[in-house]
Amino acid sequence: MIGSHSRKGICHDNTCIESFFSHFKRECLYLLQDHSEEEMIRAVEQYNYKRFQKLLNHLTPIEYRHQIAA
């Protein structure tokens, strides 16, 4: 998986998404046995349930969304 979300040579254009993909690849994608589309989709869905974020009061993205919606 190769992706770029900023203009060439300007890494600060989209820092948050670049950071997400960096963490995601290191913590999840590189550990997959087979790189099928179904497995990648499942990995992303599971990743949102287990990745705690300091900026989200140490909640996972899914927990934070549920808390805000309540």
Give 21-40 pLDDT, tens digit per residue: 787 788 777 877 777 888 88
Q: In the prediction, which pLDDT does 4 show?
A: 58
Give 7-16 pLDDT, tens digit per residue: 666 666 677 7
Q: Please, what's the b/e burial string for 26-56 (b: 16 or more CB within 10 A of its CB; e: otherwise)?
A: eebbeeeeeeeeeeeeebeeebeeebeeeee
Confidence bin at 68 (pLDDT 50/70/90): confident
Segment holding 48, helix H or strand E: helix 37-50
Q: In the prediction, which pLDDT does 3 show?
A: 59
Confidence bin at 70 (pLDDT 50/70/90): confident
